[in-house]
């Protein structure tokens, strides 16, 4: 289901599926990114008993507004949660989307029940002492052959966030037809492994 949600920050498009506790999915910074970076994951998560909001962030895809920084995107997400009456939910972000999820987890921890960081930005933006304050269950997922944000960042997040689990996914780019940057998007190019890791985390 496609839904246009009017918020004080602007109109945000969400691709929605399922019913149950909310999972909000955030894409990366590249101007061509949309909710579709998660299209191989939405159904599996919805079928497991969750309401999925795969978002076009402000200025992307079918959403209105301009492409603003991660802090303003984080506020827009919270405005959307208010409009949809989501007190708290699982936030999952890939790359820059992870930075947005981290911003909310740090500034409004009551809104985040679980946190999923996928090849996430944020090292260098946040210090280790900032991340020590994250208390919700956290899963860090990384493509071992990520050529955009190196694998070493997964270990850094895992050490900095006290409750974090780290899961790596091997040989993402070894598959035929996967671009050389594909290790940065394991949820797209290794969806079976990714979905399994996420569902084990959500059900633990």
Compute how many other C-beta atoms are within 10 angstroms of the C-beta atom of residue 167.
Answer: 20
Q: pLDDT tens for the chain, 204 residues: list them.
A: 999 999 999 999 999 999 999 999 999 999 999 999 999 999 999 999 999 999 999 999 999 999 999 999 999 999 999 999 999 999 999 999 999 999 999 999 999 999 999 999 999 999 999 999 999 999 999 999 999 999 999 999 999 999 999 999 999 999 999 999 999 999 999 999 999 999 999 998
- Give the pLDDT confidence score for residue 29 in this predicted structure: 97
In the chain, % helix, strand, coil (3-state, to 5) comes to: 35, 25, 40
- Give the pLDDT confidence score for residue 110 in this predicted structure: 98
Q: 97: buried, middle or exposed (CB in 10 Å: 19+, 13-18, 0-12)?
A: buried
Residue 44 to residue 84: CA distance in whole angstroms: 22
Asked if 100 and 27 count as a contact pair (C-beta separation under 8 A), the reply is: no
What superfamily would CATH give domain 2-202? Alpha/Beta hydrolase fold, catalytic domain (3.40.50.1820)
Compute how many other C-beta atoms are within 10 angstroms of the C-beta atom of residue 8.
Answer: 10
pTM: 0.97
How many residues in the chain? 204
Residue ranges per domain, the chain? 2-202
- Give the pLDDT confidence score for residue 204 in this predicted structure: 87
């Amino acid at each position: 289901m496609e839904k246009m949600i009017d918020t004080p920050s602007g109109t945000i498009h969400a691709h929605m599926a399922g019913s149950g506790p909310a999972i909000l999915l955030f894409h990366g910074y590249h101007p061509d990114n949309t909710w579709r970076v998660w299209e191989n994951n939405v159904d599996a998560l919805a079928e497991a008993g969750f309401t999925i909001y795969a978002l076009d962030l402000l200025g992307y895809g079918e959403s209105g507004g301009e492409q603003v920084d991660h802090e303003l995107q984080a506020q827009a997400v919270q405005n959307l949660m208010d409009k949809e009456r989501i007190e708290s939910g699982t936030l999952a972000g890939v790359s820059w989307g992870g930075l947005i999820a981290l911003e909310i987890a740090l500034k409004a921890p009551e809104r985040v029940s679980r946190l999923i960081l996928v090849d996430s930005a944020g090292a260098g933006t946040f210090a280790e002492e900032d991340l020590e304050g994250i208390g919700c269950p956290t899963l860090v997922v990384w493509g071992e052959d990520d050529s955009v944000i190196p694998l070493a960042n997964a270990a850094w997040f895992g050490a900095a966030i006290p409750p974090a689990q780290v899961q790596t996914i091997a040989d993402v780019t070894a598959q035929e037809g996967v671009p050389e940057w594909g290790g940065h998007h394991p949820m797209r190019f290794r969806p079976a492994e990714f979905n399994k890791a996420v569902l084990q985390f959500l059900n633990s």
